[in-house]
Structure 1
Amino acid sequence: MTTVQLSAPAVRPKVVARTGLHAVLAANVVVVTALFVQSGQSANALILLGRLAGLYGALLMAFQLLLVARLPWLDRRLGMDRLTSWHRWVGFSLLVTLVAHAVLIVSGYAEVTSLPPVDELVTMATTLEGVLRAVVALLLILVVGGLSARFARRRMAYETWHFVHLYAYIAVFLAFSHQIGLGGTFTSSPVATAYWWGLWGFALGAVLAGRLVLPLWRNLRHRLRIAAVVPESDDVVSIYITGRDLHRLPARAGQFFLWRFLTRDRWWQANPFSLSAAPDGRHLRLTVKALGAGSASLRALKPGTRVFAEGPYGAFTAMHRTRPHTVLVAGGVGITPVRALLEELRGHVVVIYRVSRPQDAVLLHEMRDLAQARGAVLHVVSGPSNAPTPHGPPLGARALAAAVPDIRDRDVFVCGPPGMTGAVLQGLRELGVPKRQVHAERFSLAS
């Protein structure tokens, strides 16, 4: 085995990004609280608490925009799956603060006017500027939040889910206009006004830059087209993408793009597919297994078809390595980023490829050739997940330790379906593999 020295960064990129986001949020909470106190507003306790909840809600709304802006610096360090998870939890916190804001404000004013809360809400909505817009914004956020719950999300296509989330931007606009119209803290001082304009300008500017300007600029620059469509098997196809100056595209092995193939019947569909080969500056390759009507139709794409790609996205890269040697664990179509990583990684690599049946092993011939060329070890694990083995479950702690005795001294990259990924992560915890050495990517997208 060749010894490779790896100088791990003093502070891991993931830690830097996570700590930075927490620090930014905490600092803004302090600023918002200080501006609220300095505004010197007087009212009963319910109204004051309601106003403070509304300000925290506005801050969380801006923070949510930052999490889904797809800024490259954050995405490369944290990954879209982690940012999506944080976005979801911040969204639930936002719902709580905004509902609290509405209930406390209405209850507080109802106490002052001696009207029933419902009558007070109707009066406020029909007589005060911006209140009706705030009510509509809250209803939109409640709808989007309800459709973001897992049981609802799983029943929608990505395009439908994405379209519904566009209403959240309408809610942001309505909420901000409400804050301008009635927010006493917003106009209490030039400093407060400058802060809130700056906060919303930065959040919306980040979304505009990350989700519109940067993708448009990259696609105009690189002019991507399909170079070849190569069947790998009856249900697997590889698509080779070419373009201008691809060596300037900051893509790494392990990352993915949102691909739009600009044909009459597909231009509106955004498909998240990982690179199945390390970028070489001349081509990008993705390999797709027919899991639905959309992916099955890719075989019919023609060379020369224009491609619009958003990305690269994902933190499943060698950037996060901490140890000289590596274990790569892939399940199903999760083999595509793992196959690309195998090309780039240095040091000794062990690959564990989990499939239900041997014939389901996508790109197996390439994996064998690469493993032989790189001096890596390849284990193909097939059969039912409950099949008895001498070492327990196929990807349990004992099986992982048997396949890789020194697994505690390696980085472990895991990519595959949620069930498989969860089983591997549980096994790694039982084996005592340090958390900083475990790098997992689940199949999920930010809205």
Structure 2
Amino acid sequence: MIDTARPTTRRTPLDRPPAPEPLPVAAERRRAATRRRLRGVDLLTVLTWLSAAVAVTLWLATPGSHTVAGIGGWLEAGGIVAGLIGTDLVLVMLVLAARVPVIDRLIGQDVAIAHHRALGKPVLYLLLAHGALLTLGYGIGDGTGPIAETVALFGSQDMPLAYLSIGLFVVVVGTSIVAVRRRLPYEAWHVIHLLSYAAVLVAFPHMTTGSVLGAGSWQRAYWIALYVAAFGLVALYRFVLPVVVTFRHRIRVVGVEPIAPGVVSIHMAGRDLDALGAHGGQYGVWRFWSRQTWWHAHPVSFSAVPSRNGARITVRDLGAGSARLGRIRPGTAVSLEGPYGLFTKQARSAPKLALVASGIGITPIRALLEDADLRPGEATVLLRGSDSDQQYLWEETAELARRTGSRVYGMVGPRAGSAESWMTEDDLRRGVHLRSVFPDLLDSDLYVCGPQVWTDLVVAEARAAGVPEHRIHQERFAS
């Protein structure tokens, strides 16, 4: 372990942090905030499943839903229920991806997107079951086979759109599988993923022309309200608000500073950037309006808390898209969606703070340390790099720690090859573990950011050590 708590140089001037509030006051404020947030998460979960339950209940309350006769009738009823639940969850997926501020404050945008992706396969299975069960049920009622019934259904006014909708969902979910997505360029995957909006829209005529959502029924009014709410949130927070933020703050690139091989800090200027309300640890989705970069949005953390007129991000070359950012010229206009994320001091509930960063994962850690109100000895920081070239912003971070009386340690070297570990071979051999680096780990909030496999190993050890789930915070960028 290398103690880097006494750097010899500074990269940027740092303001002295404000005096922290008294311990009892801070502890009670954090506990109250955590209770409110957890209650809000529970409420979101209840509302999600309640929306599906209401959809099914309204159908059960309509005349004719109880007159189910024979195997064909039961298959049709099962198909209708599967379709109602599946469509409801599709709209939930849209809301989770809409970057709604209240959802971001409760669970973080990265967690919301994780839930969005997790719902993909169940929704697809429900919609496939909807089509298959109805086809079988109608076929039994008409005395025909599945193929003949499918051909007959194609002659209906709304069914071609229904089949098109399911086909689009198959494409979207299929390309979202990790193994497939890694083979696709980001731009191609993003365009394909936008088909999910088309899939939901083309299914709407099928819903309203059928007998289930009859004109003038409560069901029709309920589903129209759901569609309006879901697409309204998407339009507001994915399109309208980013345009307003962009024109209000007028962000421009003022300089690109090389930090290490393949790593640059992009310095930006704008108007009233402190009004963004960004907290240390948050990220934005940035779009740089140059000929080479305008078509690619980049989810990147602030590497310093924005001031009134300036902001900074630090980017590593991880592919063709991020590599182009190092060649951006001063004066380039910038669009911003955000800030997003719950990787902030607002998520704290414990008296101590443990920060762990690897590689470019230092960016939210450094900004979080700058933003936190800390007493001497309250925070401990562990910085990890595969070699000396990966010590991005270490000196700044150590200077911030010195000013707040925090401890900073460095761990340099390739990951151990003798065992699955987040540490170097030397540290593993010496018996280093999270509890030895962070003696107060069980009284700490743990913030981890780095490569996902490495982060998972750190989090797994923290859970095994007994750190409560609500005190483990990890950043996963999501666009």
TM over 0.5: yes
Preserved contact between residue 247 and residue 280 of structure 1 (Cα < 8 Å): yes
1:84 paired to 2:110? no
Structure 1 counterpart of 2:209, from 173, 181, 191: 181
Please show how residues 192-341 of structure 1 align to structure 2 within 5 Å: 192-341=219-368
1:340/1:197 CA distance change after superposition, 3 Å: same
**Deviations 1:225-250, CA, capped at 9 Å, x for gaps:** 11222222343211111111212112
Confirm or deny that 1:190 pairs with 2:217: yes
User: Tell me, what secondary structure is at the counterpart of 1:276?
Assistant: strand
Alpha-carbon separation, structure 2, partners of 1:190 and 1:11 = 42
Residue by residue over 1:131-172, the C-alpha shift from the partner in whole angstroms, topping out at 9 and shown as x without a partner, is: 111001001101111111111112223322211011111111
Q: TM-score, normalised by structure 2?
A: 0.88
Are the equivalent residues in 2 in contact too, given 1:421–1:442 (CA < 8 A)? no
Match of 1:91, as an amino acid? Answer: G
**Pairwise CA distance, 1:64:** 1.1
Identity score, percent = 36
User: Shift of residue 333 of structure 1?
Assistant: 0.5
Instruction: Describe the SS at the equivalent of 1:10.
Output: helix
Count, aligned residues: 439
Contact 1:253 1:337 in 2 (8 A): yes
Question: Would you say 1:104 and 2:104 are equivalent positions?
Answer: no
Aligned-partner Cα distance in 2 for 1:384–1:32: 53
What residue is the counterpart of 1:423 in the other structure? 457
Cα distance in 1 between the residues matched to 2:161 and 2:393? 54
Q: For each residue in 1:290-327, what CA deviation from the matched residue of structure 2 results, as whole angstroms up to 9, or x when unmatched? A: 23333233232222111111111111111100022201
Change (3 A) 1:170 1:301: same
Q: 1:393 to 1:298 in 2, by over 3 A?
A: farther
**CA deviation profile, 1:342-384 (whole Å, cap 9, x unmatched):** 1011232111011111231101221222121221111111112
2:443 alignment partner, one of 406, 409, 413: 409
Q: 1:371-418, CA deviations, whole angstroms, 9 ceiling, x for partnerless residues? A: 212211111111122143465588xxx521111211111111111111
Tell me the distance in 1 between the aligned counterparts of 2:379 and 2:408. 9
Residues 165, 377 of structure 1: alpha-carbon distance in 2 compared, 3 angstrom cutoff:
same
Residue identity matched to 1:317 = T
Cα distance change, pair 227–76 in 1 and its aligned pair in 2 (3 A): farther
Equivalent of 1:384 in 393, 414, 435: 414
**Residues in 1 aligned to 2:247 and 2:223: alpha-carbon distance in whole angstroms:** 34
Change in Cα spacing, 1:234 to 1:96, as seen in structure 2 (3 Å) is closer
Partner of 2:89: 60
After the TM superposition, list the runs of 4 or more consecutive aligned residues in structure 1 that deviate by more than 6 angstroms: none
Residue number in structure 2 paired with 1:166? 194
Name the amino acid aligned to 2:440: D
2:333 and 2:313 map into 1 onto residues whose CA distance is 15
Equivalent residue letter for 1:18: V
Shift of residue 87 of structure 1?
0.8
The answer (yes or no) to whether the contact 1:417–1:442 under 8 Å persists in 2 is no
Contact 1:411 1:439 in 2 (8 A): yes
Gap runs ≥5 in structure 2: 1-19, 417-423
Secondary structure at the counterpart of residue 141 of structure 2? helix
Q: Report the Cα distance in structure 2 between the residues aligned to 1:212 and 1:245, rounded to whole angstroms.
A: 21
2:32 equivalent to 1:10:
yes
**Residues 234, 150 of structure 1: alpha-carbon distance in 2 compared, 3 angstrom cutoff:** closer
Render the CA deviation track for 1:85-119: whole Å, top value 9, x for unaligned. Answer: 11112111111111111011000011011111011
Shift in alpha-carbon separation, 1:87–1:162, aligned structure 2, 3 A: same
Q: Name the counterpart of 1:151.
A: 179
Task: Give a deviation string over 1:407-442, Cα, whole Å, max 9, x none.
Answer: 111111111111211111111122212222111122
Contact 2:208 2:220 in 1 (8 A): no
Which of 353, 356, 363 in structure 1 is aligned with 2:386? 356
Question: What do you get for the CA RMSD once the two structures are aligned?
Answer: 1.8
Separation in structure 2 between the aligned mates of residue 8 and residue 60 of structure 1, nearest angstrom: 33
Aligned with 2:363: secondary structure? Answer: helix
Q: What is the DSSP-based 3-state SS (H/G/I as helix, E as strand, rest coil) of the residue aligned with 2:229?
A: helix
Q: Does 1:368 align with 2:395?
A: no
**Aligned 8 A contact 1:17 1:78 in 2:** no
Q: Is the 8 A contact 2:96 2:115 kept in 1?
A: yes
User: How far apart, CA to CA, are the structure 2 residues paired with 1:161 and 1:152?
Assistant: 9
Task: Give the secondary structure class of the aligned counterpart of 1:8.
Answer: helix
Q: Deviations 1:252-275 (Å, cap 9, x if unpaired)?
A: 111111111111121111111110
Contact 2:52–2:89 (8 Å) recurs in 1: no
Q: In the alignment, what sits opposite 2:102?
A: 73
Show the counterpart of 1:131.
159
Residue in structure 1 matched with residue 47 of structure 2 by the alignment: 24
Give the aligned residue type for 1:38.
Answer: A
The match for 2:16 is none
Q: Normalization by structure 1: what TM-score?
A: 0.94
Counterpart-to-counterpart distance in 1, 2:427 and 2:57: 63
Say which SS state the counterpart of residue 306 (structure 2) adopts: coil
Q: Does 1:38 align with 2:66?
A: no
